Amino acid sequence: MAVLTARLFRGYFGGSWLGRITKNGEFQREVVFNWPVAFDVHSAIGPEEGLKAPPGSGFYDDTRKVYIAGWHQDVKRWCMSWFNEFGGYGNTQWTSQERVNGKTVIYGFCTECKQESDDPTNHIVLCEILDKDHFKYSIRSFRKGLVEIEARRIRTAERLKSLMKQQDDAIELFTDILK
């Protein structure tokens, strides 16, 4: 297996993605993921040597969950953590990668707790990078069965950052008008 690198995550996943979620083959819903900053030259958790984590790094989706991601140099893993409004949390750690039939496949594991009173559950995760604008994420466990997200890029990281900057500028302008 090839050594996992932060460059893979920073170079590929930035931008907006539309994902189609299925559980055990049955359609559940669609979700939009926006990954604006966490995949830039900085990371939000465990920045590589010589880098600083900028404030507000992270990504979010339309379920209003907050995610933080970054490179852990000491274990050479890309780690993602999330928290939700019910006191739930989770952590995914991507540990290795390899090329299979011309596709990059990333392997890892996940621990999650849906809400504060639940016991944590463990899952096996993998992500197949199908091409520059498509990936398939799979999470498998005894409790959950097989959950898959097939995602396609709907906006590049540069376009997403531009839209966010325009939104920030509009808020700033509105605030100035109110003064």
Q: What is the pLDDT of residues 114-152, one digit of tens each?
A: 888 888 899 999 999 999 999 999 999 887 799 999 999
**Span 10-53, pLDDT tens digits:** 778 878 889 999 999 999 999 887 776 544 444 444 344 444 44
What's the rounded mean pLDDT across residues 143-171? 80
The pLDDT of residue 66:
58
**Span 61-120, pLDDT tens digits:** 555 555 667 777 777 888 888 777 778 888 899 999 998 898 999 999 999 888 888 888
What CA–CA distance (Å, rounded) separates 153 from 170?
26
The pLDDT of residue 179:
58
The pLDDT of residue 134:
95
In this structure, what token pair is assigned to residue 56?
């507000």
Q: Which residue type sits at 38?
A: A
Please name the helix (run of DSSP H) or strand (run of DSSP E) that holds residue 41, with its range, or none.
Answer: none
Q: Are 65 and 76 in contact (CB under 8 A)?
A: no
The pLDDT of residue 65:
58
The pLDDT of residue 20:
95
The pLDDT of residue 48:
40
What CA–CA distance (Å, rounded) separates 109 from 128?
15
Residues 6+ apart with CB under 8 A from 8: 78, 97, 104, 106
DSSP secondary structure string for all residues of 69-118: EEEETTTTEEEEEEE-TTS-EEEEEEEEEEEETTEEEEEEEEEEESSTTS
